[in-house]
Structure 1
Amino acid sequence: MTISLGLLIFIGGIIGGIISSIAGGASIVSYPVLLFSGVQPLFANITNHGALIFDYAGAIASSKRELRGHWSQAGFYATCSTIGAILGTYLLLAFPAKVFERVVPILLLVSGLLFIFGKKKSAHQSATRKELPKTLVAIIMLLMGCYTGYFGGANGVIVLAVLQYMTRNDFLVDNAIKNVICGCGNLVAFIIFVFRTKVYWTQGIILAIGMLIGGYLGPMLLRHVSVKAVRLIVGSLAFIQAIYFFITAY
């Protein structure tokens, strides 16, 4: 691998890490970068899972302010999601790579729609909204985890959109909780992948370093950026990638 290609992966990791930690959707950048470096689609997804662990680690370290008083809630969501991630990982390993390539654009399109049109909660709505039954919350998080295990790409977008519908929290808190949920899911999925399939370690390590930096910077930037602008930008990127992958897959 050339120095220029390594630099491209590193920069892609920083940009993807920032995007993921402030909204979700790092793979909108990191997944295509891995493909460009010569990694096959299925293995690019798996390698991306490993790099995303460092993205979320950086984001969690930078989000202590938002997570204060919400660790119990984040822990419950993450536990349910992690169980789902294990199931999703085995689904990915059970289906051929061609199936995965065809599913990618559909998942990205859904991610973009959910993110752009996610409900914006007012202070009054947040205070009066009824809590969902814990069993229903557990099932929803299980499904979110299954999605994370099967397809790391844009999983943060969907998880964040679901949290905005489901909780009373403001955007910054839900975003921080999303990082905990996705971080745990990606960690467990990647551990399984390491023992079951191939990981492109060189590209993955370079990407992970970039994502760690981007993940740490993201939450700090989010405190000074319009939430509406974040939704629009990341949702638009998801649509662009969905079109690209649809063309290449079909």
Structure 2
Amino acid sequence: MELWHSLLVFFAGLWAGTINSVVGSGTLVTFPVLVAIGVAPVSASVSNAMGLVAGNVSGAWGYRKQLVGTRNVLLKLMPASVLGGITGAWLLLHLPETVFQYAAPVLIVVALLMVLFQPRLQRWVQLRRDDPKVVSEQGKYGVALVTLVFLAGVYGGYFVAAQGILLVGILGIFMAGSIQVANAMKNVLVLAVNMVAAISYLLFAFGRINWHVVLLIAVSSLIGGIVGSKVGQRLKPSVLRGVIFSLGVVALVVMISKLLA
């Protein structure tokens, strides 16, 4: 990898780590960059997910104060996230690579739509002003919440991008209160999914891992996660969404052009 490629990946990881801790969808920064510099799509997805684990750790740690009182809820949701992550990683490693090449543009479009509709989602969550740490006691909502968290884990284990936004939406619907608490819980659940996926890749896809990419993204996203948890919330959401959307469109164009070539 050329020096300017390495610098580009490093700064993409820094930005991804920052926005992952604040809103999610950092993969829509790093994945397009990796594809653009010539990394194969599945290898890019695998290496990117492994590298971003470090940023997930620092982001979750930075939001730890918001997690006070959520332990019981997290213990109920964590198994669903982990099982979903295992399922998604299994699908990525066992389906033909051509499936991912065709699925990835569709998933990017889905992720971009999540980014675009995130402001409405946040306003919806903020309207729920009751106890932020209590999940609805109604059984049907409990089952629906766990099921949706599992499906978000499958999505995250397979593609990673924008699973954080998806989780904030799910938690916002089934939990009452602050979006900051939902965001803090999102960071923990995303960390669980990405760690499970990373372990799966180590065990079953070692040859597809680009360790240079993993190291660059791990170091930069770790720093970015710290920055995001401290000052990222002061950045204008419109700026973040604009950058994410633009890079997502770049990835979409690159991948479609390769399919048509």
Q: TM-score range by the shorter chain?
A: 0.7 to 0.9
- Asked if residue 27 in structure 1 is aligned to residue 27 in structure 2, the reply is yes
How far apart in 2 are the matches of 1:159 and 1:102? 24
TM-score, L = length of structure 1: 0.88
Change over 3 Å in CA distance of 1:36–1:59 after alignment to 2: same
The alpha carbon displacement at 1:33 in A equals 2.2
- Where in structure 2 are the equivalents of 1:1-250 lying within 5 Å? 1-117=1-117, 118-119=120-121, 120-121=123-124, 125-127=128-130, 131=136, 133-197=141-205, 198-225=208-235, 229=238, 232-233=241-242, 236-237=245-246, 240-241=249-250, 243-244=252-253, 245-250=255-260
Change over 3 Å in CA distance of 1:48–1:123 after alignment to 2: closer
Percent identity, please. 26
Structure 1, residues 211-237: CA drift from partner, whole Å, max 9, x if none?
11111111222443455x378436634
Structure 1, residues 160-195: CA drift from partner, whole Å, max 9, x if none?
232233321322221111111111111011111111
TM-score, L = length of structure 2: 0.84
| 1:126 partner amino acid | R
Q: How many residues align?
A: 249
| 2:73 partner amino acid | Q
How far apart in 2 are the matches of 1:235 and 1:37? 18
How far apart in 2 are the matches of 1:164 and 1:239? 25
How far apart in 2 are the matches of 1:234 and 1:80? 31
How far apart in 2 are the matches of 1:168 and 1:179? 18
Change over 3 Å in CA distance of 1:12–1:223 after alignment to 2: closer
Contact 1:24–1:157 (Cα < 8 Å) also in 2: yes
Contact 2:89–2:200 (Cα < 8 Å) also in 1: yes
| 1:56 partner amino acid | N
Structure 2 unaligned spans of 5+: none
Change over 3 Å in CA distance of 1:187–1:101 after alignment to 2: same
Partner SS state of residue 125, structure 1? coil
Structure 1 unaligned spans of 5+: none
Q: CA RMSD in A?
A: 2.5
The alpha carbon displacement at 1:15 in A equals 0.8
How far apart in 2 are the matches of 1:235 and 1:161? 18
How far apart in 2 are the matches of 1:122 and 1:162? 10
How far apart in 2 are the matches of 1:182 and 1:221? 20
The alpha carbon displacement at 1:9 in A equals 1.4
Contact 1:116–1:231 (Cα < 8 Å) also in 2: no
| 1:233 partner amino acid | G
Runs ≥4 residues deviating over 6 A: none
Partner SS state of residue 209, structure 2? coil
Q: Which moved more, 1:153-162 or 1:47-56?
A: 153-162
